[in-house]
Amino acid sequence: MAKTPAVVRAERRLYDGAPPVIPHQPLGAACIACHDGDGLAVPDLGYAPPMPHAATAGMSALSHCQQCHVFQRTGERFRDNSFAGLRQDLRRGRRLYGGAPPVMPHPVFMRENCTACHAGPAAREEIRTSHPERRNCRQCHLEERLSGGFQRP
| Residue ranges that bind another protein, judged by CB under 8 A | 3-4, 6-8, 10-11, 14-19, 21-30, 33, 42-45, 56-60, 62-64, 66-91, 106-107, 109-110, 147
CB 127 → another protein: shortest distance, Å?
Answer: 13
Taking only Cα atoms into account, the Rg of the chain, rounded to an integer number of angstroms, comes to 17
Question: Is the Cβ of residue 12 or residue 132 nearer to another protein in the bound state?
Answer: 12
Which of helix, strand or coil describes residue 9? helix
CB 133 → another protein: shortest distance, Å?
Answer: 27
Q: DSSP characters for 84-140?
A: -PPPP--SPPP-SSTTSPPPBSS--TT---THHHHSSTTS-GGG--S-TT---GGGT
Evaluate whether 99 touches 17 at the Cβ level (below 8 Å): no
Question: Is the Cβ of residue 109 or residue 140 nearer to another protein in the bound state?
Answer: 109
CB 134 → another protein: shortest distance, Å?
Answer: 27
Question: Is the Cβ of residue 72 or residue 134 nearer to another protein in the bound state?
Answer: 72
